[in-house]
């Protein structure tokens, strides 16, 4: 049975004014930063938002295939980033204005879910993206329930007696009375579903509910695959799956060695900084490249590297070792 009248919704919506303004700005400011203060939609320049999107890939849940498809199709990725930015601008601005508040609240939930599932695992000092995601989902749900209330354009248009505000659809997409007979089950089920989503993602991304806490944004981690040494050609795939998104892994050493520890060949930082682009076959828009003093591997980058060896392969088993400037090392058996 409906126990909330029009005044209840109007007042509740008014009480969420601060939430509307702040949440709206968090999304509108993404557009403001990317296109007004700077242009972060230029593919060839540093700061391109598509590269940041690529950083989400290694540990995203649920939407990883979508991310991987886009970062392997740069043209589609650019359009996706443009559309995403425009949607954030519209949702953010309309939420702040209280225009079609409930429809925009669905946009808030959708955008927040994308942030949560894609980048909820990223955060160097605290659980930055996870917090943004779960709070966005929760606030979007609240704004759908309350609508705009006083201080919203929805309320202004309704007071002016505009005809569309009397339509049933306006209750679902705008503000005012939400035309659902019994809201209590929806509030309880929705709230606890969001709590379960919060606990689940907190555990998966950070071990924050039970077990050992972990933060995949602290130390770089590189996965080595397809390591082959044929004649004088050493080929292997590198894929950086952990570490800070704003800071690359800097390789200062690559070496071939026997399992007994005898070094067969070593490439130092200077040699790695001189590796040609032809020797690096990048899979995604976040690209492995030769830096000034090392080889730089950004978060989410995957590439096949081709090195020419000077020595022939010995009869005993061989190991490939990668050395990061931090002292972290990764090894894989050479096939």
Q: Please write the tens of the pLDDT for every residue from 240-260.
A: 999 998 888 899 999 999 998
Strand partners, 282: 303
Helices 17-31 and 128-146 pack at an angle, to 10 degrees, of 130
Residue 333 has pLDDT above 60, yes or no: yes
pLDDT of residue 2: 55
Burial of 312 from C-beta contacts in 10 A (0-12 / 13-18 / 19+): exposed
Residue 18 has pLDDT above 80, yes or no: yes
Q: Please report which confidence band the pLDDT of residue 128 belongs to, taking 50, 70 and 90 as the band edges.
A: confident
Residue 139 has pLDDT above 60, yes or no: yes
Q: Please report which confidence band the pLDDT of residue 313 belongs to, taking 50, 70 and 90 as the band edges.
A: confident
Question: What number is the average pLDDT over the span 178-206?
Answer: 95
Strand partners, 256: 265, 320
Coil, strand or helix at 87: helix
In the chain, domain spans: 6-206, 221-333
CATH of 221-333, one of 2.60.40.1930, 3.40.190.10, 3.20.20.140, 2.60.40.150: 2.60.40.1930
H-run or E-run covering 239: strand 233-242
State both tokens at 130.
Answer: 């996870």
Question: What number is the average pLDDT over the span 316-335?
Answer: 95
Mean pLDDT is lowest, of 65-69, 178-182, 291-295, for 178-182
pLDDT of residue 3: 66
Q: Please write the tens of the pLDDT for every residue from 152-178.
A: 999 999 999 999 999 999 999 999 999
What are the b/e assignments for 292-304, b being 16+ CB within 10 Å?
A: eebbbbbbbbbbb
Q: Please write the tens of the pLDDT for every residue from 81-91.
A: 999 999 999 99
Pairing of β 318-324 and β 302-308: unpaired
Q: Please write the tens of the pLDDT for every residue from 268-286.
A: 999 999 999 999 999 999 9
């Amino acid at each position: 049975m409906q126990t909330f009248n029009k005044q209840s919704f109007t007042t509740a919506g008014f009480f969420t004014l601060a939430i509307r303004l702040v949440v709206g700005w968090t999304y509108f400011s993404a557009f403001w930063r990317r296109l007004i203060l700077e242009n972060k939609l230029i593919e060839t320049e540093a700061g391109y938002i598509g590269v940041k999107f690529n950083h989400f890939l290694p540990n995203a849940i649920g939407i990883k295939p979508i991310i991987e498809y886009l970062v392997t199709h740069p043209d589609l990725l650019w359009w996706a980033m443009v559309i995403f930015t425009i949607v954030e601008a519209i949702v953010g601005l309309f939420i702040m204005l209280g225009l079609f508040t409930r429809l925009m609240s669905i946009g808030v939930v959708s955008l927040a879910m994308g942030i949560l599932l894609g980048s909820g695992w990223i955060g160097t000092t605290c659980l930055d993206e996870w917090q943004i995601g779960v709070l966005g989902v929760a606030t979007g749900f609240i704004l759908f329930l309350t609508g705009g209330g006083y201080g919203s354009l929805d309320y202004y248009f309704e007071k002016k007696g505009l005809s569309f505000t009397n339509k049933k659809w306006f209750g679902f997409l705008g503000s005012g009375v939400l035309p659902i007979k019994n809201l209590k089950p929806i509030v309880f089920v929705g709230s606890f579903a969001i709590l379960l989503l919060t606990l689940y993602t907190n555990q998966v991304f950070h071990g924050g509910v039970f077990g050992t806490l972990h933060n995949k944004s602290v130390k770089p981690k590189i996965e080595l695959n397809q390591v082959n040494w044929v004649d004088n050609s050493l080929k292997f795939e590198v894929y950086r799956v952990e570490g800070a998104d704003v800071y690359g892994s800097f390789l200062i050493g690559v070496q071939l060695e026997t399992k007994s520890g005898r070094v067969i060949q070593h490439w130092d930082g200077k040699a790695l900084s001189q590796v040609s682009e032809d020797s690096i076959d990048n899979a995604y828009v976040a690209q492995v490249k030769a830096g000034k003093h090392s080889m730089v591997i950004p978060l989410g980058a995957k590439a096949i590297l081709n090195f020419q060896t000077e020595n022939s392969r010995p009869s005993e088993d061989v190991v490939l070792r990668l050395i990061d400037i931090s002292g972290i090392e990764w090894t894989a058996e050479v096939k």
